[in-house]
Amino acid sequence: MINPEALRQLQTDLGREALAAAAAETPTEREFLSVVQRLRKRYPEPLVMAAVEQAILRRRGAAKFSRAGEMYFEREALEQASSEMVSHYRAERLAGFPCLYDLGCGLGGDSLALAAVSPVVAIDRDGLRLSLLAANARALGVEANVWPVRADLRLPAWRLSRRAAGFFDPGRRRNGRRVYSVARYEPPLDLAYTWLPELAALAVKVSPGIDLRQLSGVDCELEFISSLGELKEACLWFGSLRHVQRRATILPGPHSLVSSGNLGTGILPPQGYLYEPDPAILRAGLVGELANRLGASQIDATISYLTSDRAITTPFARVYRVIEVMTSNLRLLRAALRARGVGRLTLKKRGSAIDVASYAQRLRLHGDHEATLILTRAGGRKVALLVEPVAA
């Protein structure tokens, strides 16, 4: 629905009035046509269609942007945009340079965060997305620090500055489908390597599920970032911003754990407390680092759960008190849980092929108590750990 003319109309007095009317309808995708039919009695139909789409996208964008209600979005660009929390964290790492380049800026979520720490040259070949960036920069009051430039990153018609740092967010979808090979990113990841001699530093956003074999031989820091317990993205850091080999960062915070070569503290059966590492820790391969920090041990060589006899509050893991180490035999486990009066069960697993939903149904529990049960392996055998969360 959004196009350059519609975007221009939305920023007029009549457009802002139509946006407010559309927002008041709180439309969903299914209600799009019915809301358009109501509002087109008051406003031109093309304007109404653009306004209703923006109302839907602004509600969706609120999950990523604190001021989404003032911004303008394009559907695919919004799906690919980083969350505001991640963008601001990354911008803080890029602070201190006299100029920053947002290479492939899209609708500009990262440009807006970068503009808070330095002037930004935002480059993209898509004129509509550059117009969205300009509109969003005006809406958020940072337009003086953002210079949109229309250019194709693959063509040598523009120059970088050796004193500046860059941020590159290549497209990872083609025809609506996710792309896993870095060679099929748009533009491909190899293009970023050609910029390294021209920049003081470079950050590159990649998929958090990237096959690490694709980065073999690449001299960079690899950072995995999670937000509110969910793995969000990975970032490659080059040049003066490369400090370690691996980093896991937990937001909000930020809280970072970095690689230093620690391999962990061995294997122990479950002790009084269990630690479930954050997904960024797991993806960065820093379970051993965390074990050393906590004075904890793995419960199995193949399982990332850690255990110790002390409860240590940490942003890097969820902590549980181990109530009982139980058998994973369904019949015996059912009897043990019924004896405890457990009727509502939170079931988790790691290192187990069991289907959690089916397993929970087969337990056929009845009772007034709630419990958390973890199906996993400890010391090479299958176990069920009855646990309770420890408040942070």
Q: What is the DSSP string of 51-70?
A: HHHHHHHHHHHTTT-TTGGG
Mean pLDDT across the stretch 342-361?
91
Q: What is the pLDDT of residue 157?
A: 64
pLDDT at 181 over 90: yes
Q: What are the beta bridge partners of residue 123?
A: 103, 149
pLDDT tens digit string along 185-237? 999 999 999 999 999 999 999 999 999 999 999 999 999 999 999 999 999 99
Token pair for 28: 């969903």
The torsion angles phi and psi of 239, rounded to 5 degrees, stand at: 70, -140
Roughly what angle, to the nearest 10 degrees, separates helices 330-339 and 356-363?
Answer: 60
Say if residues 308 and 323 touch (Cβ distance below 8 Å). no
pTM exceeds 0.85: yes
Percent of the chain with pLDDT over 90: 86
Say if residues 246 and 203 touch (Cβ distance below 8 Å). no
Neighbours of 142 (CB within 10 A): 18
